[in-house]
């Protein structure tokens, strides 16, 4: 077994073989400076039916984003055009994941990223100076510390801007001129200070609708982006599949030799689905918790339980432990959510236990941990 040097390798490292094979076999039309065609980018994100034969090997391209294929296609086309792409939506709907996959496929790197926070300044978006060099040599290119936006323009690659709406609106607005004119001016460099973006440059922003509102973006900036809303998964089977895929990959990366349990994934997926939708498969009305019931949370509740089974238990998923982790995830926002979760167990899970028996009854018994 090889020992990974990074805890979480970037997308382009994790899927290096898939990306190499797709590039090598790509014969379709490609926008200037893209590493692969829009068709190949699509295949990378949505998977291929048949494995690719390349370099004497069969390489399967796994479906990485499950849900809305048309959304992925629109995102790719937006990036080939002149407007930026803004992915907005509830937390944990794979906005970051999608933007990393797009950047890795199109530009070969997902790491050219600005992380938006309340403390993001204009320097971090445009450029800053290495003061030692600035004092020694004056304002020359060598003394300039380029931002990810600068690097994107200079090299013709994508710049990701994570959580853009957490940045103060007037700072966000420093993107406007770059996005409309595709030029960045560094007045200190005099005549050489005009940086014209190379083809291939574009910006992918992500914004979370639960954080400080997307509405706080200026309308001038909004007009420079095509907005795509990434919706939570609406289908239990799909959500179960996402949990299984993600957990399997996490386990592999961290060398946890344990197979995920499909039935437990189904129980968890349906719990998340029903609490999010406010209605059960048996028709009960459910009081929805205020906490975000995202697929990403479901993945982490499952994985947490799996780790406990692996390190403390007998490598079998324990429903009591699952419920304890669920409590941790749901209780984040306020105490009333726990009451709602208890109500859900007393009605929905009790009835499912009565009807289906088996794991559902054990799940109902595990309600004793809802404290």
Ligand X SMILES: Nc1ncnc2c1ncn2[C@@H]1O[C@H](COP(=O)(O)OP(=O)(O)OP(=O)(O)O)[C@@H](O)[C@H]1O
Judged by beta carbon, residue 243 or residue 370, the one nearer ligand X is 243
| Cβ neighbourhood burial of 17 (10 Å; 0-12, 13-18, 19+) | middle
Q: Which is nearer to Mg ion, 96 or 109 (CB)?
A: 96
Q: Which position among 103, 242, 269, 286 is part of the footprint of ligand X (CB under 6 A)? A: 242
Tell which positions 167-206 bind ligand X, by CB under 6 A.
206
Taking CB under 6 A as the rule, does residue 93 contact ligand X? yes
- Taking CB under 6 A as the criterion, the residue among 43, 48, 78, 96 binding ligand X is 96
The structure tokens listed for 93 are 């709907």
Cβ of residue 246: shortest distance to ligand X, in angstroms? Answer: 4
Contact between 233 and ligand X per CB under 6 A: yes
Instruction: Using CB under 6 A, count the residues that bind ligand X.
Output: 18
Among 37, 78, 93, 96, binds Mg ion (CB under 5 A): 96
Where does this chain touch Mg ion (CB under 5 A) — which range of 91-99, 173-181, 282-290, 332-340? 91-99
Instruction: In angstroms, give the least distance from the CB of 296 to ligand X.
Output: 3
**Min dist. Cβ of residue 352 to ligand X (A):** 24
Residue 67 interacting with ligand X (CB under 6 A): yes
34 or 161: whose CB is closer to Mg ion?
A: 161
Over the window 319 to 338, marking each residue x when it contacts ligand X by CB under 6 A and - when it does not, the resulting string is --------------------
Residue 94 makes contact with ligand X by CB under 6 A: yes
Choose one: 152-160, 218-226, 275-283, 293-301; the region binding ligand X (CB under 6 A): 293-301
> Which residues contact Mg ion by CB under 5 A?
96
> Which residues contact ligand X by CB under 6 A?
65-67, 91-97, 206, 208, 233, 242, 246, 295-296, 299
């Amino acid at each position: 077994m090889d020992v990974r040097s990074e805890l979480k390798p970037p997308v382009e490292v994790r899927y290096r073989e898939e990306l190499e094979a797709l590039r090598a076999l790509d014969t379709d039309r490609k926008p200037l400076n893209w590493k692969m065609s829009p068709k190949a980018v699509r295949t990378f994100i949505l998977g291929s039916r048949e494995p690719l034969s390349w370099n004497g090997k069969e390489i399967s391209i796994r479906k990485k984003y499950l849900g809305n294929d048309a959304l992925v296609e629109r995102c790719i086309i937006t990036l080939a055009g002149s407007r930026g792409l803004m992915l907005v939506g509830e937390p944990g709907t794979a906005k970051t994941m999608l933007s990393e996959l797009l950047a890795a496929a199109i530009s070969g790197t997902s790491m050219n990223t600005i992380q938006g926070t309340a403390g993001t300044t204009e320097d971090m978006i445009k450029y800053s100076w290495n003061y030692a060099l600035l004092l020694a040599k004056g304002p020359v290119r060598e003394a300039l510390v380029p931002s990810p936006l600068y690097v994107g323009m200079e090299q013709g690659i994508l710049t990701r801007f994570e959580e853009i709406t957490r940045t103060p609106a007037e700072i966000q607005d420093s993107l406007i001129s770059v996005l409309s004119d595709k030029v960045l001016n560094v007045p200190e460099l005099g005549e050489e200070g005009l940086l014209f973006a190379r083809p291939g440059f574009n910006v992918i922003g992500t914004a979370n609708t639960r954080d400080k509102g997307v509405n706080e973006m200026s309308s001038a900036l909004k007009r420079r982006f095509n907005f795509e809303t990434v919706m939570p998964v609406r289908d239990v089977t799909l959500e179960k599949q996402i949990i299984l895929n993600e957990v399997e990959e996490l386990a592999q990366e961290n060398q946890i030799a344990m197979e995920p349990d499909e039935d437990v994934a189904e129980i968890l997926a349906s719990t998340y689905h029903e609490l999010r939708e406010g209605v059960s498969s048996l028709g009960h009305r459910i009081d929805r918790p205020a906490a975000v019931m995202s697929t990403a949370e479901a993945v982490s509740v499952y994985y947490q339980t799996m780790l406990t089974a692996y390190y403390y238990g007998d490598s079998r998923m324990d429903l009591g432990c699952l419920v304890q982790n669920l409590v941790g995830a749901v209780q984040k926002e306020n105490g009333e959510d726990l009451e709602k979760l208890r109500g859900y167990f007393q009605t929905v899970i009790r009835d499912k236990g009565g009807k289906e028996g088996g794991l559902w009854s054990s799940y109902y018994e595990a309600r004793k941990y809802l404290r």
